[in-house]
């Protein structure tokens, strides 16, 4: 592992070389040799970007909305990045590819960087990898990072937690599906969007969401606003941008922003610590002994708890 190679790549990435940036992100994403150095070199410079998470059921118009948001944040010349995460897809799936095509128009703009990530190769670690990709983009001069994730399950919730402001995109006519979403995602939503407001039922959907919010625990004094948009026409976009900005200002002032960053830092440190401990213990135990115990567990001669007790006893 050479310490010299990554920094030069980093310098190129920092100065706006998109290929270099893509390469840096691949190293970090796939935990290739040099990933730790990249993080070491960039970590201190991160923390300046506005990080926005967009999540919601498939087909709700998230990518169309993201594309609009990119346009809005590009107006002042800021560098903007989109990280499209698809936790549900075992492959680099069709949805992401579709997103790419749809965002092509933005991608032609030099100040916009689009990155697709699928769950392949990230067993359980997708949220951490996403957080690292965001950190590196942030450190290398991206002013706004938008993380789009498809779906409404726990993994999507974990992924989107990297954001300072989480936007949940719903559509009219979801009916009972709204109830299913309630459990996980509604609690982490800072801004609620009823997209496709050009379709019938937007008022009903907004009312249902408002109703559900009153049932919520109210983790913080922040009341998530409900914004109606039509991503295809751009209607309501300014309201959404304003709502995101209001949330950001509130979070900064109330301390919520720092609390979230602290929570993310804790999760990151604990994950790295866990990895380091497991690696060290495994080294001490020895590969052969570990393998023998694993085989015995596989044959059900011993249960995993007893096996670990046994390994740690010596």
Ligand X SMILES: Nc1nc2c(ncn2[C@@H]2O[C@H](COP(=O)(O)OP(=O)(O)OP(=O)(O)O)[C@@H](O)[C@H]2O)c(=O)[nH]1
Where along the sequence are the contacts to Mg ion (CB under 5 A)? 62-63, 99
DSSP string, 27-89: HHHTT-TTHHHHHHHHGGG-S-SEEEEEEESTTSSHHHHHHHHHHHHHTTT--EEEEEEETT-
242 CB neighbour count, 10 Å cutoff: 13
What is the distance between the alpha carbons of residues 198 and 196, in angstroms, rounded to a whole number?
A: 5
- If one asks whether residue 59 binds ligand X (CB under 6 A), the answer comes out as yes
- If one asks whether residue 236 binds ligand X (CB under 6 A), the answer comes out as no
> What is the number of the residue whose Cβ is closest to ligand X?
61
- What is the phi-psi region of residue 66: left when phi exceeds 0, alpha when psi lies from -120 to 50, beta otherwise? alpha
Greatest alpha-carbon span in the chain: 67
> Which of ligand X, Mg ion, none interacts with 154 (beta carbon under 5 to 8 A by kind)?
none
What is the distance between the alpha carbons of residues 51 and 159, in angstroms, rounded to a whole number?
A: 12
Between 22 and 98, name the residue whose CB sits nearer to Mg ion.
Answer: 98
Between 23 and 196, name the residue whose CB sits nearer to ligand X.
Answer: 196
> Which of ligand X, Mg ion, none interacts with 129 (beta carbon under 5 to 8 A by kind)?
none
- How many residues bind ligand X (CB under 6 A)? The answer is 17
Q: Is 235 exposed, middle or buried (0-12, 13-18, 19+ CB in 10 A)?
A: middle
> Which of Mg ion, ligand X, none interacts with 60 (beta carbon under 5 to 8 A by kind)?
ligand X
- If one asks whether residue 224 binds ligand X (CB under 6 A), the answer comes out as no
> Which of Mg ion, ligand X, none interacts with 204 (beta carbon under 5 to 8 A by kind)?
none
What are the Cα distances from residue 74, in Å, to 22, 54, 77, 106? 20, 18, 5, 10
What is the distance between the alpha carbons of residues 49 and 210, in angstroms, rounded to a whole number?
A: 30
> What is the number of the residue whose Cβ is closest to Mg ion?
63
- If one asks whether residue 200 binds ligand X (CB under 6 A), the answer comes out as no
> Of 9-17, 200-208, 227-235, 285-293, which segment contacts ligand X by CB under 6 A?
227-235
What is the distance between the alpha carbons of residues 44 and 181, in angstroms, rounded to a whole number?
A: 36
Is the Cβ–Cβ distance between 146 and 80 less than 8 Å?
A: yes
Binder among 231, 240, 264, 293 for ligand X (CB under 6 A): 231
CB of 84 to Mg ion, least distance (A): 7
Site map (CB under 6 A) of ligand X, residues 142-181, x = contact:
--------x-------------------------------
Binder among 41, 230, 256, 260 for ligand X (CB under 6 A): 230
Between 29 and 99, name the residue whose CB sits nearer to Mg ion.
Answer: 99
- If one asks whether residue 135 binds ligand X (CB under 6 A), the answer comes out as no
What is the distance between the alpha carbons of residues 254 and 174, in angstroms, rounded to a whole number?
A: 34
Q: Could you list the residues that contact ligand X (CB under 6 A)?
A: 58-64, 95, 99, 150, 195-196, 198-199, 230-232
């Amino acid at each position: 592992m050479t310490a010299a190679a990554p920094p030069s790549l980093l310098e190129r990435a920092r100065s706006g070389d998109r290929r270099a940036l893509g390469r840096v992100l691949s190293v970090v994403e796939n935990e290739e040799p040099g990933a730790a150095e990249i993080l070491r070199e960039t970590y201190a410079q991160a923390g300046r970007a506005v990080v926005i998470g967009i999540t919601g059921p498939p087909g709700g118009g998230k990518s169309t909305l993201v594309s609009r948001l990119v346009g809005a944040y590009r107006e002042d010349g800021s560098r903007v990045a989109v990280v499209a995460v698809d936790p549900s897809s075992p492959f680099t799936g069709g949805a992401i590819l579709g997103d790419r095509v749809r965002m092509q128009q933005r991608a032609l703009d030099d100040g916009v960087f689009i990155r697709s990530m699928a769950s392949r190769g990230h067993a359980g670690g997708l949220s951490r990898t996403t957080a690292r990709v965001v950190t590196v983009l942030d450190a290398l001069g991206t002013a706004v990072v938008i993380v789009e994730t498809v779906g409404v399950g726990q993994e999507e919730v974990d992924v989107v937690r990297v954001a300072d402001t989480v936007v949940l995109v719903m559509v009219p006519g979801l009916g009972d599906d709204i109830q299913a979403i309630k459990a996980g995602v509604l609690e982490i939503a800072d801004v609620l969007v009823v997209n496709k407001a050009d379709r019938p039922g937007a008022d009903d959907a907004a009312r249902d969401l408002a109703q559900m919010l009153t049932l919520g625990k109210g983790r913080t004094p922040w009341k998530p606003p409900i914004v109606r948009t039509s991503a295809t026409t751009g209607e309501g976009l300014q309201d959404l941008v304003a709502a995101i900005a209001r949330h950001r200002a509130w979070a900064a002032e109330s301390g919520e922003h720092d609390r979230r960053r602290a929570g993310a830092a804790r999760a990151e440190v604990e994950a790295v610590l866990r990895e380091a401990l497991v690696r060290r213990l495994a080294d001490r135990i020895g590969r052969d002994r570990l393998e023998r115990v694993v085989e015995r567990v596989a044959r059900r001669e011993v249960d995993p708890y007893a096996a670990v007790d046994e390994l740690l006893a010596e």
